[in-house]
Structure 1
Amino acid sequence: MKKLLLALAPALPFMAYAQDVKTDSITTSLKEVVVTADTQIETSQKVILHPTKLEKRHSTNGYTLFANMNLPDFTVNPTDQTISTITGRDVKILINGVEVSPDELGTLTASEITQIDYQRNPGGRWAGCGAVINFITEQYDYGGNVYLSADKGLARQYGDYTGMANYKRNAVTLTFTVNGKWENSSVLNSAENAAIFSDGTLYQSITPQEASARSNSQYFKFKFSHAAKNHTLDLSALFKRNATPRNLMTDVMTYSGLYNFPSNVERNSRDRGVLPALGLKYNLFMPGGHTLMITSEVSHGHTNYNSIRTETGFDPIANNAVENNLKAGGSISYFKSLPHELSLGVSVDEFYNYFHDVYTGSFDSKQTLTNNHAMLMLNVDQNLPIGLSYYVSAGLTDLYSTIGDYNDNQISPMAYYGATYAVNQKHVFSLNGNYVHSIYNPSFKNDAVIRTSFFEATMGNPELKQLKAFQNVVGYNGHAGHFGFSFTYDFLKYFGNTTNRYFADGNIMYHQLVNDGNFCYNKLIFGISANLLGNKLRLKGNVSYSINRFNSDYRPTKSNDWREALSASYMFGDWQIKGEYVSPYKFMDYEGTKVRFPAQYGLSINWQHGDWAAECCIDNFLDRRLCTRTDADYGVYHSLAHSLSDMKGRNISVSLTYILPYGKKTDRERVETDTKINSAILRPF
């Protein structure tokens, strides 16, 4: 859900580069830090991290460096270019105080990073995020880096290739990034389904015979940056393309009950899409504690989707869709720093999304959906001399939607709040909460109906409403000697939950997304890390227990879930050996669907010397495919499904990275790839 929420009010700590933070034994600013002992210092505003030479030596980019720092309250996946908190919440990534995309951190050379600051409890512009992480780098008079990497799967067939080159001269930086991916995968899905009609129950048994998919994507991005003492300016232009030229599934169906016969089913689909986009980010720091921030973005996506389903004894079902979508938006934020470290701010945001879909094939239809999302937020935050900081951001959001002749205007309140208390430089307590409204899935905000089989259909819902959420996260973080600790309590409740609904009309079973019931969980998470044997041995583990409840008018569900994860790495010379293990666990999502995952494990060996780095990974070597079990009961429709996927199964992969730095460094003042294309197409499978 947090990916759908837009952080609104003004940014505070990371933009105030000249603001000093005083602790008991150090004096630090974001321009320069003098450290007497610890590489991790807790304050009420942020956590200050100083990467060691050992950690940098065994890291290629920002993701691998953050992973090697072995923090108990974060989960890092350098391959997927993701960082999340221990509670699973997304984080915002900054480089020298400017928000960046995942590919920019993935190509940021670890040797350039001098300091990492992060907020566990961010407010202002990043209210609602799990954390904000700011990577501070060395500066150049001129020069830059060339970054090349290749990742190749051997047991599972895929390739991921990235190239980046940047050039810096004084305040100007030019960056060009290119990425290409391809993948061949297969997922075998078996299921036992039961559909209840007025004149009887139809039982469907699915036995998979064949499944294969091929996909590829390309990504190009150019970025111009200008950073001075009183402003920063980023201009970017990107183009991305993705395609799935083949997605084939062949199954044997056996029907009993209402009908009794076997059949063979083949489903084949393909899609392709392109999206060019432009972006602007501008920050102006004025005398007297005034800060102005402006962001803007515009993109245009085009998607073609085709599918056909054939089943013995029935006419083929073809679904074709062509979509054009336009996305444009921007925000203006202003804040003022006052005496006693008090800051006030205001932010105004406006985002427009337009989708035009044309469906042909077994049925013809046209759909036009527009969303206007406007937000106004006020912010106040303060850092008190007793080691306590707090923030409150509150305002209104207005979502105006139009689909055909149907108009919907939803005005809702929003609020974010939090506080952090630093006992000393080693121990801190925090509270972070919000009451928000998320936007709906645009794929279901329509009145289209498409057939998916001779007895099934998927139906849009033009009356789909926003989902309301209330959340509080209370945490403790600390470190003592070579050990780090994290304890978190996370409470979340969804009101007017967005969930799947099945209902029968005649001899057709319809599937629709509706607002129904409430979902809540209470989650306890404990994490611990240890750096031993001269910090060469890194151990980390966490355990979570979640109490989940889904209160629905027609299918209440509950589940209590455990999950454990362990990792260990050892760094010596030019080498690093790392092992990871996640125990089997079950998971109930906010729709009340229960999913069981098997154990996942892996071993990697990394070598790094000079400008070269190589890594070999072996994952899940005892299991060719990852088997997940899904149990969903929708009253009139029940499904018990097993999915065998090679995407997280047995794999051996090899990666190679080359980094060529050039230029002259100076001490002047500092101032995944995502290839998914936004789409509202209603798809049968």
Structure 2
Amino acid sequence: MSRFVTVVIIFQIALSAFAQFEVKGRLINSKGEGVEFATIKVFTENSDFVKGTTTDSLGFYLLEFKHKGIFKVQLSSLSYKPFEFTLVVSKPLLEAPDIPLEDKTTELENITIVGGNMVRQDNHLLITPDKMAVKHSFSAYQLLDNLKLPGFDVQPNSGSVTLFDKNVSLYIDGEPADYNLVKNLRSKDIEKIEYHDVPTGRYSNDYAAINFITRKFQFGGYANLMGQQNIGHLNGTYEAYTQLGLNETRLHVMGGYTMWDMARSSTNTSEWFNFPDSPVSREDLNRGGRTSRDLEYGQLRVSSNNQLRQISVSASMVHNYSTKNRNSELKYSEPYNTSELSNSVSKSNMASPSLSIFSYFNLPNNQFFYFNGSGSYTHNHNKNTYSANNKPLIYGATENYYYIFADMTYGKSFKHRNSIEFAIVESYTNSSIDYTGEYSSWQHLWHSETLIFAGYRQKFSKFSIYARPGLSLKYSRVHRQELIAENGPRLYIEGIYRPTAFQQLKASAAFGNSAVSIAKLSDAERPVDFLTTIRGNPGLKPNMLLQTYNLNYSTQFGRCSAAADITYNRTQDAPITDYYFDNGKLIESYISGNDENINSYVSLSWNANKSFRLNVTGNHIHTWTKAANKYELDHFSANINASYYWRDFMVNITASTPKKSPLYWGYTKMPATYGLTLNWNHKNWSASAWITNPFNHIKTSRKFTTPSYNSFVRTIQTRSGFVKITYTFDFGKKIQHTGIDKVNTSTNTLVL
């Protein structure tokens, strides 16, 4: 007896009962190919036969109805399991998303059509991007932003993707991806988007994941040429990317250059040093400065993918050179009662080659094996010169930094709707630092962390439960100090309840530990100026205990979708900034303490019509910090993101209320901001222009309050806009764009 799966399609636009109603769609197999000549039968709720039809040679079908109503639809085809769904029709034309038919040798997951372009496939949503969203975007980031998923904050220009302020992992065809080449993934090459709101399998280490599924072609390639320029300042980025493919093999090559030479943002600081004998206040007034930066990066990557396995190897190189120069006037209160001019110059030179390997194997009997490994070497050299009244203070550091990461996961699914997985994750860092200047020293630090997990998931009709116990093995050592071993259990538990086809409630809890940065555990010192020094603290507790509780709800109704999220976090023995005095100087160091916060969000998205889309999100945060002192922060903020499409143009408007971000003993305040983006896409050309707060400067502030030291920092950011132009062209026959290349333009360091 075939196993029936209910598919519910609900539409809420009331029309006349005399109108003609049509439902268009497509049946596909597990490979995404159309199922030809499949039989489709339509029945009333009472099982009376209404009509029948078949799919064409490409798997497409058309159902016509003379009136609204609720119907049962049965699908059948040779070599595929029968499939039944309930259809609620109330609008004249429905373009239903693709419906996958299960091969008779495999088990079909729960499938629910929850909207015009979304299909719930067990623990993720399968999204078919609509034509307007694709037309008015060039990159994958722009396409994701156009979808206006509730709770998501997508910044296409910087590559930031968060869900309720938590990072979202990005994949392309199941392989990890990052900003530098995801932006070269063209939206017109994206066929589907998987939104893993309940990550499992290869995504089980993620809070949430987006997987871009690309179109498949056999031979050819394409290239992208991009130039981005700041208006009003010498600041630009220029990139070239090309991809060439033959059958299963893909070759990816990219290179880029970024230059930056512009006036620094104006920063003025008021400080109060509460020395026991004689308190001193200082005003640090900006008197000009400049920042220059040159960044070069490139990558070569080879991949080979088929239905049974995915393998890729990539090598990349990043070089970054920067100089920062700032002039200021320092005004001291009694007992100094003086004023002096100061200058600070910071120069850094960093180079980092890296190598990464990715593989994924589909094994027999519903099994898989996943491996993701990477290694990098970074050489950092920086020199800092601070002078006041022509008295120099020179210090610097040269570092050799090594990093190795490996993640291995095995999983298996069973016929009783349950599955297991086992994972081992290893990360290793090794840093050798030579500090020069007034406080010369040599530091050698290394840290190793091994995580071992076992997961079990069980699904019921409307419920599913997941448990992932594990063990953390951490070892670290700072030169001339004892070996630190911190081992402890970890546990993640999750429950999912879907009361209807359009609602999901998720509750989860996580318990574990995390290592304090070994740089903070060292006894190294770094002078800041003639009054302040940064110093590590070997007496810190090296292990933090973590607790997280989360409740999340999402729903859809008509053209709207909404989500709500509340999270409680507690970190015990966190390294919290601490201030004290030693030998006539203020020492900025660290002390073990507790940090707690409650974050709550409500987000609403509205696809009003083909031309207008809107997202509104509100956030409330309450934090507690307790170490030598206590501090609390309570704050509410909101933001809005609206897009309007017209012909080849898109106008995007963003706005947000003032926002405070906690800093243990204080906060950083961002004022109300508003931004305007104008996009133009036509054939092979794409142009974007954007600006934030065009009519006033963005003035940020930072307030810090402790018994020993208080400060108030105000920064007036440089006002500017950007223009970006991208040209793309195909050569040969267009192919699949997997675009998983990873060029990480950041470099690692453990310098204090």
TM-score, length basis structure 1: 0.90
Report matched runs for 1:93-112 at 5 Å.
Answer: 93-112=170-189
Pick from 585, 592, 595 the counterpart of residue 668 of structure 2: 595
Write the deviation string for residues 554-606 of structure 1: whole angstroms up to 9, x where unpaired: 221111111110121111111111111111122223x2321111111111211
The one-letter code of the counterpart of 1:39 is: N
Contact 2:665 2:706 in 1 (8 A): no
Tell me by how many angstroms 1:419 deviates.
Answer: 2.7
Unmatched runs of 5 consecutive residues or more in structure 1: 1-15
Pick from 618, 621, 639 the counterpart of residue 711 of structure 2: 639
* CA gap 1:495/1:126 in 2 versus in 1, 3 angstroms: farther
Pick from 638, 641, 659 the counterpart of residue 728 of structure 2: 659
Contact 1:295 1:330 in 2 (8 A): yes
Partner of 1:451: 527
Tell me by how many angstroms 1:349 deviates.
Answer: 2.2
Contact 1:498 1:514 in 2 (8 A): yes
Partner of 1:324: 400
Partner of 1:12: none
Partner of 1:476: 553
Contact 2:123 2:200 in 1 (8 A): no
State which drifts further: 426-435 or 49-58: 426-435
Residue 371 (str. 1) matches residue 447 (str. 2): yes
Partner of 1:60: 138
Pick from 321, 333, 336 the counterpart of residue 243 of structure 1: 321
Contact 1:123 1:391 in 2 (8 A): no
Report matched runs for 1:69-108 at 5 Å.
Answer: 69-85=147-163, 87-108=164-185
Contact 1:107 1:147 in 2 (8 A): yes
Report matched runs for 1:388-467 at 5 Å.
Answer: 388-406=463-481, 407-464=483-540, 465-467=542-544
Contact 2:245 2:735 in 1 (8 A): no
The one-letter code of the counterpart of 2:703 is: D
Tell me by how many angstroms 1:443 deviates.
Answer: 3.8
Residues in 1 aligned to 2:407 and 2:599: alpha-carbon distance in whole angstroms: 34
Partner of 1:623: 696
Contact 2:299 2:743 in 1 (8 A): no
Partner of 1:225: 303
Tell me by how many angstroms 1:198 deviates.
Answer: 2.5
The one-letter code of the counterpart of 2:696 is: D
Residues in 2 aligned to 1:81 and 1:284: alpha-carbon distance in whole angstroms: 29
The one-letter code of the counterpart of 2:700 is: T
Residue 262 (str. 1) matches residue 339 (str. 2): yes
State which drifts further: 578-587 or 431-440: 431-440
Pick from 582, 585, 591 the counterpart of residue 508 of structure 1: 585
Pick from 559, 564, 570 the counterpart of residue 638 of structure 2: 564
State which drifts further: 627-636 or 438-447: 438-447
Write the deviation string for residues 284-312 of structure 1: whole angstroms up to 9, x where unpaired: 22112222222221111101100010012
* CA gap 1:398/1:257 in 2 versus in 1, 3 angstroms: farther
Give the 3-state SS of the residue equivalent to 2:206 in structure 1.
coil
The one-letter code of the counterpart of 2:596 is: C
Report matched runs for 1:328-343 at 5 Å.
Answer: 328-343=404-419
Pick from 271, 285, 288 the counterpart of residue 207 of structure 1: 285
Of structures 1 and 2, the one with the larger relative CO (CA 8 A, separation 6+) is: 1
Over the aligned positions, Cα root-mean-square deviation in angstroms equals 2.7
Give the 3-state SS of the residue equivalent to 2:528 in structure 1.
strand
Partner of 1:10: none
* CA gap 1:545/1:35 in 2 versus in 1, 3 angstroms: closer
Tell me by how many angstroms 1:442 deviates.
Answer: 4.4
How many residues were matched structurally? 654
Residue 549 (str. 1) matches residue 624 (str. 2): yes
Report matched runs for 1:492-531 at 5 Å.
Answer: 492-516=569-593, 518-531=594-607
Write the deviation string for residues 410-457 of structure 1: whole angstroms up to 9, x where unpaired: 112222222332333322222233223233334433211122222211
Contact 2:114 2:501 in 1 (8 A): no
Partner of 1:611: 684
Write the deviation string for residues 132-175 of structure 1: whole angstroms up to 9, x where unpaired: 11111100111232112111110344212222111121111111
Tell me by how many angstroms 1:551 deviates.
Answer: 2.2
Pick from 444, 462, 475 the counterpart of residue 387 of structure 1: 462
Write the deviation string for residues 342-381 of structure 1: whole angstroms up to 9, x where unpaired: 1112112222211011112223211100111111111112
* CA gap 1:228/1:123 in 2 versus in 1, 3 angstroms: closer
Structure with higher Rg: it is: 2
Tell me by how many angstroms 1:36 deviates.
Answer: 9.7
Give the 3-state SS of the residue equivalent to 1:111 in structure 2.
helix
The one-letter code of the counterpart of 1:548 is: T
Partner of 2:12: none
Residues in 1 aligned to 2:181 and 2:101: alpha-carbon distance in whole angstroms: 24
Write the deviation string for residues 39-66 of structure 1: whole angstroms up to 9, x where unpaired: 1234541112110111111110110000
Residues in 2 aligned to 1:62 and 1:104: alpha-carbon distance in whole angstroms: 10
Residues in 2 aligned to 1:339 and 1:95: alpha-carbon distance in whole angstroms: 28
Residues in 1 aligned to 2:539 and 2:249: alpha-carbon distance in whole angstroms: 49
Tell me by how many angstroms 1:661 deviates.
Answer: 2.8
Residues in 2 aligned to 1:645 and 1:487: alpha-carbon distance in whole angstroms: 33
* CA gap 1:156/1:526 in 2 versus in 1, 3 angstroms: farther
Residue 539 (str. 1) matches residue 611 (str. 2): no
Write the deviation string for residues 189-236 of structure 1: whole angstroms up to 9, x where unpaired: 212211122212121111111121111211111111111221110111
Residues in 2 aligned to 1:242 and 1:580: alpha-carbon distance in whole angstroms: 32
Write the deviation string for residues 470-505 of structure 1: whole angstroms up to 9, x where unpaired: 112211112222112111112111211221111112
Partner of 1:7: none
Pick from 121, 125, 128 the counterpart of residue 47 of structure 1: 125
State which drifts further: 25-34 or 149-158: 25-34
Pick from 409, 429, 432 the counterpart of residue 353 of structure 1: 429
* CA gap 1:609/1:391 in 2 versus in 1, 3 angstroms: same
Tell me by how many angstroms 1:665 deviates.
Answer: 6.1
The one-letter code of the counterpart of 1:328 is: I
The one-letter code of the counterpart of 1:654 is: V
Residues in 2 aligned to 1:157 and 1:478: alpha-carbon distance in whole angstroms: 46
Tell me by how many angstroms 1:243 deviates.
Answer: 1.4
Residues in 1 aligned to 2:703 and 2:427: alpha-carbon distance in whole angstroms: 37
- Percent identical pairs in the alignment equals 19
Residues in 1 aligned to 2:349 and 2:457: alpha-carbon distance in whole angstroms: 46
Give the 3-state SS of the residue equivalent to 2:745 in structure 1.
coil
Residues in 2 aligned to 1:474 and 1:29: alpha-carbon distance in whole angstroms: 33
Give the 3-state SS of the residue equivalent to 1:396 in structure 2.
strand
Residues in 2 aligned to 1:398 and 1:125: alpha-carbon distance in whole angstroms: 22
Residues in 2 aligned to 1:34 and 1:176: alpha-carbon distance in whole angstroms: 40
Contact 1:51 1:114 in 2 (8 A): yes
Tell me by how many angstroms 1:115 deviates.
Answer: 0.7
Give the 3-state SS of the residue equivalent to 2:500 in structure 1.
coil
* CA gap 1:140/1:45 in 2 versus in 1, 3 angstroms: same
* CA gap 1:130/1:24 in 2 versus in 1, 3 angstroms: farther
Residues in 2 aligned to 1:529 and 1:269: alpha-carbon distance in whole angstroms: 45
Report matched runs for 1:148-167 at 5 Å.
Answer: 148-167=225-244
Write the deviation string for residues 225-250 of structure 1: whole angstroms up to 9, x where unpaired: 11122111011101111111x20111
Contact 2:702 2:714 in 1 (8 A): yes
Contact 1:43 1:428 in 2 (8 A): no
Contact 1:400 1:409 in 2 (8 A): yes
The one-letter code of the counterpart of 2:619 is: S
